[in-house]
Structure 1
Amino acid sequence: MTATTADISSLHPPRHTAWEPQRATTLADARKRTAFIRLLRLVLIGLTGVIIAAVIVQILLRSLGGEVQAPVTVGEDARMINPRFTGRDENGTPYVVTADAAIRRRGEDTRITELESPQLDYDLISADEDAEGVLARTGIFDADARTLDLNSDVRFRTRSGYEFLAEHARVYLSDERVVGDSPVEGDGPMGTIRADGYEILDGGDRVVFTGNVRTHLRNEASESGDQP
């Protein structure tokens, strides 16, 4: 007799294949990755906000005043490029002290700064027209005392129209006053003057000369070529 084999696979219950639990695991992993990506996005947004806030703060600080560039230590000194110092005098008038470069000596008062080619934006005095804003070759700025010492080839003009040339000038930014203890030469609307010392008072409207004062006054007759 010939044996006949019947297909009884349909009588057995279906078996669970291996891909179904793997699919569930894959969905769980996908959800975890989605949550991680969302968290990462929030972190990145937060960091972006912090960076933007830091930039805005730096811009505001620079607009309000202070040093434009952080000091760079060179040897034993801290050197700054294009420093900027701001303040107000007793009457509330603002002033800005700038320079090509500045040096703060180690071991000394950090509020005292040596300046190269100092400039001053202030209503009291201004630089000579040919000096491009530079008042002197060197200077020393004391932030606490609010004084600016100008040294070597000092050139400036007052509100009254006089131009001065001296080797030293100390500008008292707190009370609108300038004092010089070296010989000075001045030229203005009324004539020329030379003296051993000087003091500019009343916000530049009054100048006092001391020591060997020599003047040459102008008048309309002398300017026209006639004898005075």
Structure 2
Amino acid sequence: MSLAQAPSPAAGPRDQAARWRAHSVMIRRARIALPAAIGAIFVLLVGFVIHGSLAGAKARPQDADAPIQLVNPRFVGRDGKGRAYVITAKTATRDEKDYNRVLLDTPMLVLDEEGSNPTRISSQSGVYREDAHTLNLDGGVKLNGGDVNFSTASSIFNTATGVLEGTGEIQGMGALGEIIAKSYGVYDKGDRLVFKGGVRTRVESH
């Protein structure tokens, strides 16, 4: 006669209460741990953002706010009559206090560059004003073109009219010989050079 194993009794009320308490504890812990984990992730992200900002600030050049500067610029334009001119320089720096003012280091102005006898005017420094369409050349201004070779203190070129003028004394050699004057003007892309004020000439004999 075989003996049948008696079935285990069903879980009693005490066991169910213990399981419920354990489940409740786990839920309470989860409610505490989950917000804590979210907060830690948020703090970590903020830390990454701050670190990236600081690293970017350190990597940024110290002169990031320096005025805009071009090296070996070349400006090509035409005056009101369609005549071409070219302005070059070692550097061109825009004035941070006046946006229309561009400072040029060792500029050179070329009139009728593609012609047979282009006129070149160079100086130690220059200022180009975009609003007034003028180029002021100062310091050791040299004017060369064709058979003329003159020096003066300053000159002003109007990019709208194509006229180059100077109010300081000018002296040098022209087609007729040595010329000294108190002012001058260059017209028609350098084809016509006019001297004014106390003009003195010494004609070279051939």
Query: Kindly tell me: are residues 210 and 122 of structure 1, through their superposed partners in 2, closer, same or farther at Cα, counting changes over 3 Å?
Result: closer
Deviations, residues 101-123 of structure 1 (Å, cap 9, x unaligned): 12222221x23201001122331
**Residue type of the alignment partner of 1:169:** S
Cα pair 1:76 1:105 within 8 Å, conserved: no
Secondary structure of 1:77's match?
coil
Match of 1:89 in 2: 79
Structure 2 distance, partners of 1:184, 1:193, is 8
Match of 1:206 in 2: 192
**Residue type of the alignment partner of 2:128:** F
Query: Kindly tell me: are residues 183 and 74 of structure 1, through their superposed partners in 2, closer, same or farther at Cα, counting changes over 3 Å?
Result: farther
The answer to whether residue 67 in structure 2 is matched with residue 77 in structure 1 is yes
Please identify runs of 4+ aligned residues in structure 1 that moved more than 4 A. 72-76
**Residue type of the alignment partner of 1:145:** A
Structure 1 distance, partners of 2:181, 2:65, is 42
Whose radius of gyration is greater, 1 or 2? 2
Query: Kindly tell me: are residues 157 and 74 of structure 1, through their superposed partners in 2, closer, same or farther at Cα, counting changes over 3 Å?
Result: farther
Cα RMSD after superposing both structures? 2.4
Structure 2 distance, partners of 1:73, 1:141, is 24
**Residue type of the alignment partner of 2:187:** L
Structure 2 distance, partners of 1:180, 1:74, is 38
**Residue type of the alignment partner of 2:101:** I
Question: Larger deviation: 95-104 or 139-148?
Answer: 139-148
* Larger RCO, structure (CA 8 Å, separation 6 or more): 2
> Normalization by structure 2: what TM-score?
0.60
Deviations, residues 182-214 of structure 1 (Å, cap 9, x unaligned): 111020221111111111223323322222221
Match of 1:167 among 150, 153, 158: 153
Percent of matched pairs sharing the same residue: 30
Deviations, residues 156-203 of structure 1 (Å, cap 9, x unaligned): 1245x2111001011122222111011110202211111111112233
Match of 1:146 among 128, 133, 148: 133
**Residue type of the alignment partner of 2:92:** A
Q: CA deviation at 1:137?
A: 0.6
Cα pair 2:83 2:162 within 8 Å, conserved: no
Which 5+ residue runs of structure 1 have no aligned equivalent?
1-71, 128-133, 221-228
Secondary structure of 2:135's match?
strand
The count of aligned residue pairs is 141
